Amino acid sequence: MHAQKCFISLLILVLIPISGCTNHEEFTVIDSINAKEVLTLEPDADIFQYDGIIYKTDIDWIETLSLTTDVQIGEIKSKTDTHTNFLDEMSNKLPIGAKIYSVKERKDILIVESNGELIRYLAIVEG
């Protein structure tokens, strides 16, 4: 019994300093990646920009998600084939007038309606 009390006391003395040394800072930093960076890595990527964030399609795992289209939040207003200096509601492949919808289940995925087809796009961020 005495050995057990000594072990518990020793354990407490060892754990108290360890628990006092934990770092409570958060290092989560999320920055958006720009169109030039995406297209440099993948020149044929289908992307558009909305609210300062680049969204990209053809990402396999988002196709398996059960998602519900919410409200229309915008539409593609301009298209570019050559430059990578994107503005909001600009696309490299989607036609002008394609409608952009939010998704009820996730904030990092948008759905675009183009020519009667619903296409899922994921926000491309680095962090």
Q: Does residue 8 form part of some domain?
A: no
Q: Is 97 left (phi over 0), alpha (psi -120 to 50) or beta?
A: left
Higher per-residue pLDDT: 94 or 18? 94
Is there a domain that residue 101 lies in?
yes
38, part of any domain: yes
Q: How confident is the model at residue 127 (pLDDT cuts 50, 70, 90)?
A: low
Domain encompassing residue 84: 30-126
**Using only C-alpha atoms, what is the Rg of the chain?**
24
Tokens at residue 82, please? 């050559």
For the chain, what is the domain count?
Answer: 1
Q: Quick check: is 22 in a domain?
A: no
Q: Quick check: is 113 in a domain?
A: yes
In a domain, 20, yes or no: no
Given a cut of 80, whether residue 28 has pLDDT beyond it is: no
**Is 61 a member of any domain?**
yes
On the 0-12 / 13-18 / 19+ scale of CB atoms within 10 A, 74 is: middle
Q: Is residue 76 part of a domain?
A: yes
CA distance 65 to 58: 13
Kindly state the average pLDDT of the residues 23-35: 58
